[in-house]
Amino acid sequence: MRGGNGDGHDDRSSGYRYGSFGAVPASEEAIAGLEEAAVEETREAECAVCKESFEVGDKIRKMPCSRGYHESCIFRWLRISRTCPLCRFPVSAADDRTE
């Protein structure tokens, strides 16, 4: 048997829904346009979305504020909210296209 005491179930991520707190999703262009980066290029040691440490070979994308996240994590995040999870720096919104 490993890990006797249950770890307090924190299911907060399931609370993220469209409009649940006025979140505006990012545009697909903004998401696709995030800069790719290698693990060594990020200032962060872990992804603020999933709290996992970056490992060599992980796909990393940088927000305009230059913070790095796992590609899959920040993509998922931006489809709900267009602001950086750490500093709330916004990227283009889906309904806010500049021409």
Q: Which residues pair with 61 in a beta bridge?
A: 36, 69
Q: How far is the CB of 48 from Zn ion (least distance, A)?
A: 8
Part of the chain binding Zn ion (CB under 5 A), chosen from 6-14, 28-36, 54-62, 63-71: 63-71
Rounded Cα distance, 23 and 14, in Å: 14
- Tell me how many degrees the CA angle 89-66-11 measures, rounded to the nearest 5: 60
Binding to Zn ion, residues 28-57 (CB under 5 A) = 47, 49-50
Q: Which is nearer to Zn ion, 2 or 12 (CB)?
A: 12
The whole-angstrom separation of Cα 70 and Cα 52 is 9
Q: Which residues bind Zn ion (CB under 5 A)?
A: 47, 49-50, 65, 67, 70, 73, 84, 86-87, 89
